[in-house]
Amino acid sequence: MRNENISINNSKLQKIPFTMYDVGWVVLCIGMAIGAGIVFMPVQIGLKGIWVFIVAIALSYPAIYFLQDLYLKTLSRTEECEDYTNIISQYLGKNWGVALGAVYFLSLIMIFLSYSLAVIFDSASYIKTFGITEELLSDSPWYSLLVFSILVSIAAQGERLLFKVSGPMIIVKFSIILALGLLMIPHWNFDNITAFPEFLPFLRDVLLTLPFTLYSILFVQILNPMNIAYRKVETDKEIAAYRAVRVNRITYIILAIVVLFFAFSFTFSISHEQAVQAFEQNISALAIAAQVMSGNAIKIMSSVLNVFSIITAFLGIYLGVQESVKGIVTNLLSRVIPENKINKTILHYAVTICIILALWIWVSTKFSVLYLLQLAGPTYGIIACLIPVYLIYKVSNLSDLKGFRAWYVAFFGILLCVSPLFSLFE
């Protein structure tokens, strides 16, 4: 009888139409994935070599699908669904909720800070490269304050405004990825393919490259905001979970095909020397390509792709950062005052203003984006890999998710956690 009910439920779910709201989330997920990961990954590949890239992809791409699928399913099965801290509190208690909520916030904020650096420095680099200004605008603190005020004000309005603002930019940059991958073919130079390295340096570099291949199509940062949004529009949590998981699956397939083509095409076109130059200038591979490659079409397209990628990823991850901060603050405030007396409007504006000011101060440090991406690996290993697997084996109503996928995600999570340590052996 139980199998018959499952079959009936699956048949019912499969008949749910794919609406424009679903399309909007696919677009936002693509926008989240095509950000710092894809525009900085060619730099890491140029530094470490294509053989390292191939093995890192073989390890990380199956893990990305498994971990996002398990992560989303563990989040979607709670009775209430307000924020990450609230969800974990339902599984493990309020103290674990705030502790893991802080780790979740750290994982989001490290990538968010990467995007904030890229938004300011890459946009200023392009403006100077195309002769609009003689000096770098990033040297002026008022430039970063203005940019962050505009972007955060847009993102803070919610997903429906992001559909309208980010959607066209995401479609444009996705089209450019396909076109740019084709246009880069004449610039391919197979001399950029280096000899296979020695085993120990090769193993070290694979582990150091895992965070970059992970971020190339990862959009786990937006999955919880998406899960919360579907729970708000669907009264049946099973239907909400099905729609969210379906969006995740469709987005992954699209990204895996297109991003791999783009990454290989771009990798064949950038030399090791150009990758070193991009690393030293703290800019992406696309920014360096606009400086050194001939052809206005490539320069313009790479410029638009880079700027749109960073902006839309910034806007997309803001939903997760905002939700995380609100969850932690609400959890802490609810210990001293009743939660129903917390003014949500004041909390919303306070979080928005604090994020703008924090980003403004952060950009002045000019921290290396590549180092920040490496350091973020362990936090994603904990939040997106180890915690969901722990919940699967701890919580009875998640026991159906046990198996090979869970163990592979745990293995990949451990690799992410230890990957920054290997930088000590460079």
C-alpha torsion angle, residues 275, 280, 281, 286 (rounded to 10): 10
User: How confident is the model over 281-323, as pLDDT tens digits?
Assistant: 666 666 666 665 556 666 677 677 777 877 877 777 787 787 7
Q: Quick one: pLDDT at residue 251?
A: 94
Which residues, given as ranges, of the chain have pLDDT below 50?
A: 1-8
Around 152, how many Cα atoms within 13 Å sit in the side-chain half-sphere? 24
Of 1.20.1740.10, 3.40.50.720, 2.60.40.1120, 3.40.50.1100, the CATH number of 17-425 is 1.20.1740.10
Distance between first and last Cα of the chain: 59
At 326 the pLDDT is 78
Query: So what's the pLDDT on residue 407?
Result: 94
pLDDT at 408: 92
pLDDT digits (tens, 9 = 90+) for 310-361: 787 777 778 778 777 777 787 778 777 876 777 777 887 888 888 888 888 8
Between CA 47 and CA 204 the distance in angstroms is 13
- Per the listing, tokens 């018959």 go with 4
pTM confidence score: 0.75
Residue-level pLDDT at 8: 43
Residue 6: partners with Cβ closer than 8 Å, 6 or more residues away: none
Contacts of 4 (CB under 8 A, 6+ apart): none
Rounded Cα distance between 186 and 50, Å, is: 19
Q: Return the pLDDT at 157.
A: 75
Annotate 355-397 with DSSP letters as a single string. Answer: HHHHHHHHHTT---HHHHHHHHHHHHIIIIIIHHHHHHHH-GG
Q: Is residue 271 classed as helix, strand or coil in its secondary structure?
A: coil
Segments making up each domain of the chain, as ranges: 17-425
